[in-house]
Structure 1
Amino acid sequence: HPPLGKLIISIGIWLFGMNPFGWRVMGTLVGILMIPLTYVFAKRLFGKSEYALLAAFLMSVDFMHFAQTRIATIDSYGVFFIMLMYYYMYRYYSMNFYQDSFRKTLKPLFLSGLFFGIGAASKWIVIYGGAGLALIFFLSLFERYRQWRAAENFLLLPETYANTELRTELKMIRKKFARYTTRAVAWCTLFFVIIPVVIYSLSFLPLMAVPGEEKSIAHLVDYQESMYDYHSKLKATHGFGSPWYEWPLMVRPIWFYSGKTAAAPDQVSSIWSFGNPAVWWVGLAAFIASLVLLKRKKHRGMFVVAVAFFSQFLPWVLVTRLTFIYHYFAMVPFLIFAIVFMCKHLVEKNPAFKTGVKLYAGISLLLFLLFYPVLSGMVVSKGYVDTFLQWFGTWYFYTG
């Protein structure tokens, strides 16, 4: 992996020492920050605090969010920066350089590109999202193009001749399109290509500063080739490996920790990473339903959510090497937004469904509390695990 994620981990070690707390504190901090970020993103998508609160709540009770951000791995950083880059791209997509000042539209583009670069320097999964960002950006330009064409047609209509204000606006659109489009593409070349490449390259400087390490562009390129060769040519098996099509159904959780020395023979202490069934299974159904709904009820925010989900998920279909369920973590925020979108849709159709939303949130919390022992390493009896948690044969949570 690129080094920035590990450098972020090293900040915690620098502050608190080479100990378990120092290893994990930065990932946990990022996991905590994901919750208000989910709130802000959902508020931007759906406009109401109640729906933003529901999204943040679902993120906080998701099993993988809890388990994955409490261990010293780099996955949390990748997911966090993916959320940020799509949040700012959605802000840009919600703007229009015919109505908003062009300079104002550059700010969300810059921030989206900045977090894309930081994320790519943390973990390559962020690069997958680059295709989604490009699709949203160019679709936005296509919408401006359609307005430009429409303005030309309206200017030819006799009924607009007497409307000076309208004709002035239409002429402004005709005048701005080519100039602003060219400038937007040029700025995006800086924001999404040049700046990310610089950030990515600079992230290797601490490695090159290690005594004995070669300091050259050629060595930097060799490093990239080595990483690519590892991921593309890896031939390995693992008892907890899980292909992409198993992730949404949580067929095979991944086991992170077994504290046999901390537990009596009839007790269990373990940490597993997988999803809250009320979030992942309901989220999958909600995502499919939202795609169907989008065909007849356009929603710009959910279009961005769909693009984000597919841009992060579909590349894994092509990956033939060993993979694990935690690779699905990047899709979880967008599943949550799909759930909230469908809840909003149902409540707007029938306000009585608010009670159902509250019941659903309660079930999500109940499941989190039920499974908390095997997410946290808490010592519990094997009888508790066997009775309440072992829903499937691959969810066994202990051996022996």
Structure 2
Amino acid sequence: MRRKEWLLLGGLTLAYAMIALYHLGSSSAPQSYWQPASAGDGFTVEFNDTLKLERMNSYGGVGENKFRVEFSTDNTHWSNPITIDQNYVKNFTWNVTNLDVTAKFARLTTENAGLMLQEMAFYPTGSDKPVPIQSVISNKGATEGIQNPIRAFDEQDKAVYTPGFMNGTYFDEIYHARTAYEYVHGIKPYETTHPPLGKLLISVGILLFGMDPFGWRIIGTLLGIAMIPILYVFARRLFGKQEYAFAAAFLMTFDFMHFTQTRIATIDVYGVFFIILMYYFMYRYYMLNFYLVPLKQTLVPLFWSGLFFGLGAASKWIAIYGGAGLALLFFLSLFERYREYHKAAIWLKNGIPKSKHKQAVNTDAQRKIVTTFPQLSLKTIAWCTLFFVIIPVILYAASFLPALMAHGETLSFKRLIQYQTSMYDYQTQLKATHPFSSEWYQWPFITRPLWYYAGQFLPTGLTSTIVAMGNPAIWWTGIAAVITSAFLAFKRKDRGMFVVLVAFASQYLPWIFVKRLTFIYHFFAMVPFLILCLVYVIQYGIEYRKWNKQLVYAYFAVVFLLFVMFYPALSGMEVSRHYVDTCLRWFSTWLF
């Protein structure tokens, strides 16, 4: 790539990085916690003065429990009891309880020892600053370690009056961010319905930046940023020109799903990231021929494809769907080499056909094909057994080591197998309903977007919302582009686009047979390949149908303007409720 091309790609990637990292999440959250030793443990809080209280906010860590809070003006007579259910939905997020009491004291009593209370704050009427605490006394005299209740009030500067997605978990972060935290601390993982690698990568961000929203989201966001240059390189090799590569990267940059799904701490971004890479390197292999280049040169992209397949499978099982497509492409490549071998063998035996006499047919080359095919094909298959079976199995099994070595777990092969059967049972036997679920055939039409987050405690007329959906200009035209690409690739015998179409089909078609609850975000793995199909059609239209480029530029302008238009609903930005309802909710099923 030339310097100008590097600058163009770098500028686009940098621009997206700035957008993606802006308001990603707070880097400040309570870190210490109070944890009772037994049921009935609690404490009494004394405020600096008798005050009218209107709100109590609590930030819970790992664990589930119910606790009761009562209030008093004299530390003798208690009233206005409130029971708080601190369950998994409230892990690592601020929970608000409205009050209407006058008190100088508050007393908390737990029902069991499962609670990790990381911070608590009481707010007086008319103020968003926590009430100053004069003392915190344990009801059982505990003053050491995590049983010391002062730990529930030692980070009042990090208390949040009006919580939102910026300072707590939302949607499935309640599972994955929590599990990543548990991996960091050697706790038996809570979420075991997917392989561990995605959560382990989330934990890297937590180790680097802390257990806060920025920490648990940053690694996925960085991989989302990296998808842009990776897709650029993929398209550059596929289409041969920088303008088409830039088009693919541009469409990826401004797709809604790509933006939303890589800024939330769930595991889909990791699976999709590795899927793109494993198909990119399989494409590199598929375009090579071991008769024309050294065998070692063909093995390099196979190794990388197999490695990323293993990492993808260890992140989410959707990569295993893609493994079927990789196998198809690999054996199809070998079949093509076999056809060349078969043709060469016939020519050497029976002589070159008269129809080929006018062509320069190298007899030595044909003889080399006949003599080397058995050896080269067997060596390739042997190496692929290592690349696509042994290494992925090792990576996949190794990803479970932190879970198997956690406190209370057993490091054994039997326990590893139990994890697999448990995941399989969950994926195949889940019986549940959800108001935002959708079927596989509805996804590309954006029939039912998935509402991730709805802000609360906002001024009248304002809203903060996050929705998972595709950019209509990309997804709706992409449906036609995939169909058109299949027709064109078959007609033109375009091997490169065949790889893209296999990738799309291998990620999409298995969902036809999935009977469990599904959502629109499951289409995310298909989006990169849908975009490549779009660019393929654009290239064909410009170079062979003489499309007016101004119309293509107008299309890209629409893609960008839609992203700008929907940005508030993708990012959680506070905007007018009227704007969202009148400008963004195009259909009655678009609820956000």
Which residue of structure 1 aligns with residue 379 of structure 2?
A: 183
TM-score w.r.t. structure 1 length? 0.96
Distance 1:42 1:200 in 2: 29
From the two aligned structures, give the one with the greater helix fraction: 1
Q: In the alignment, which of 228, 250, 262 is matched to residue 57 of structure 1?
A: 250
Deviations 1:230-256 (A, max 9, x none): 111000001111111110111111111
Distance 1:225 1:173 in 2: 46
Which residue of structure 2 aligns with residue 41 of structure 1?
A: 234
Retained in 1: the 8 A contact 2:251–2:531?
yes
Matched, 1:153 2:349: no
Which residue of structure 2 aligns with residue 225 of structure 1?
A: 421
Mapping for residues 98-113 of structure 1, pairs under 5 Å: 98-113=291-306
Which range moves more in the overlay, 195-204 or 380-389? 380-389
Q: What is the identity, as a one-letter code, of the residue corresponding to 1:327?
A: H
Identity %: 59
Retained in 1: the 8 A contact 2:449–2:591?
no
Retained in 1: the 8 A contact 2:404–2:415?
no
Which residue of structure 2 aligns with residue 67 of structure 1?
A: 260
Alpha-carbon shift at residue 45 of structure 1 (Å):
0.8
Deviations 1:7-66 (A, max 9, x none): 000000000000000010001001000000110111111111100000000000000000
Which residue of structure 1 aligns with residue 395 of structure 2?
A: 199
Distance 1:76 1:165 in 2: 49
Which residue of structure 2 aligns with residue 328 of structure 1?
A: 523
Q: In the alignment, which of 274, 282, 285 is matched to residue 469 of structure 2?
A: 274
Q: Specify the SS of the correspondent of 2:432.
A: coil
Distance 2:361 2:530 in 1: 44
Q: In the alignment, which of 396, 409, 415 is matched to residue 213 of structure 1?
A: 409
Alpha-carbon shift at residue 352 of structure 1 (Å):
4.4
Distance 1:323 1:67 in 2: 18
Which range moves more in the overlay, 295-304 or 232-241? 295-304
Alpha-carbon shift at residue 144 of structure 1 (Å):
0.4
Q: What is the identity, as a one-letter code, of the residue corresponding to 2:495?
A: R
Q: In the alignment, which of 547, 552, 574 is matched to residue 357 of structure 1?
A: 552
Which residue of structure 2 aligns with residue 318 of structure 1?
A: 513
Q: What is the identity, as a one-letter code, of the residue corresponding to 2:424?
A: Y
Is the alpha carbon distance of 1:165 and 1:143 closer, same or farther for their aligned partners in structure 2, counting shifts above 3 Å?
Answer: closer
Matched, 1:129 2:322: yes
Q: What is the identity, as a one-letter code, of the residue corresponding to 1:332?
A: V
TM-score w.r.t. structure 2 length? 0.66
Alpha-carbon shift at residue 86 of structure 1 (Å):
0.3
Q: What is the identity, as a one-letter code, of the residue corresponding to 2:379?
A: R
Q: Specify the SS of the correspondent of 1:245.
A: coil
Distance 1:35 1:116 in 2: 19
Q: Specify the SS of the correspondent of 1:272.
A: strand
Which residue of structure 2 aligns with residue 298 of structure 1?
A: 493
Which residue of structure 1 aligns with residue 177 of structure 2?
A: none
- How many residues align? The count is 396
Which residue of structure 2 aligns with residue 96 of structure 1?
A: 289
Retained in 1: the 8 A contact 2:465–2:568?
yes
Distance 1:3 1:295 in 2: 39
Runs ≥4 residues deviating over 3 A? 158-161
Q: Specify the SS of the correspondent of 2:492.
A: coil
Alpha-carbon shift at residue 170 of structure 1 (Å):
0.6
Distance 1:46 1:277 in 2: 24
Q: What is the identity, as a one-letter code, of the residue corresponding to 2:204?
A: I
Alpha-carbon shift at residue 77 of structure 1 (Å):
0.5
The structure with the larger Rg is 2
Deviations 1:75-125 (A, max 9, x none): 000000000000000000000000010011000000000000011000011
Distance 2:386 2:545 in 1: 47
Alpha-carbon shift at residue 165 of structure 1 (Å):
8.0
Q: What is the identity, as a one-letter code, of the residue corresponding to 2:263?
A: R
Matched, 1:167 2:360: no
Which residue of structure 2 aligns with residue 83 of structure 1?
A: 276
Q: Which runs of 5+ in 2 are unaligned?
A: 1-193
Cα root mean square deviation, aligned: 1.6
Deviations 1:371-393 (A, max 9, x none): 00000001111221122111100
Distance 2:473 2:210 in 1: 38
Alpha-carbon shift at residue 264 of structure 1 (Å):
1.8
Alpha-carbon shift at residue 351 of structure 1 (Å):
3.9
Alpha-carbon shift at residue 354 of structure 1 (Å):
1.7
Retained in 1: the 8 A contact 2:443–2:523?
yes
Alpha-carbon shift at residue 330 of structure 1 (Å):
0.2
Which residue of structure 1 aligns with residue 564 of structure 2?
A: 369
Which residue of structure 2 aligns with residue 395 of structure 1?
A: 590
Q: Specify the SS of the correspondent of 2:445.
A: coil
Alpha-carbon shift at residue 294 of structure 1 (Å):
2.2
Deviations 1:304-326 (A, max 9, x none): 11101111111111000101100
Alpha-carbon shift at residue 394 of structure 1 (Å):
1.1
Q: What is the identity, as a one-letter code, of the residue corresponding to 1:284?
A: I
Distance 1:38 1:130 in 2: 19
Q: In the alignment, which of 195, 205, 209 is matched to residue 16 of structure 1?
A: 209
Higher RCO (C-alpha under 8 Å, 6+ residues apart): 1
Q: In the alignment, which of 515, 531, 535 is matched to residue 340 of structure 1?
A: 535
Which range moves more in the overlay, 68-77 or 206-215? 206-215
Which residue of structure 2 aligns with residue 287 of structure 1?
A: 482
Q: In the alignment, which of 308, 332, 337 is matched to residue 144 of structure 1?
A: 337
Q: Which runs of 5+ in 1 are unaligned?
A: none
Alpha-carbon shift at residue 150 of structure 1 (Å):
1.3
Which residue of structure 2 aligns with residue 247 of structure 1?
A: 443
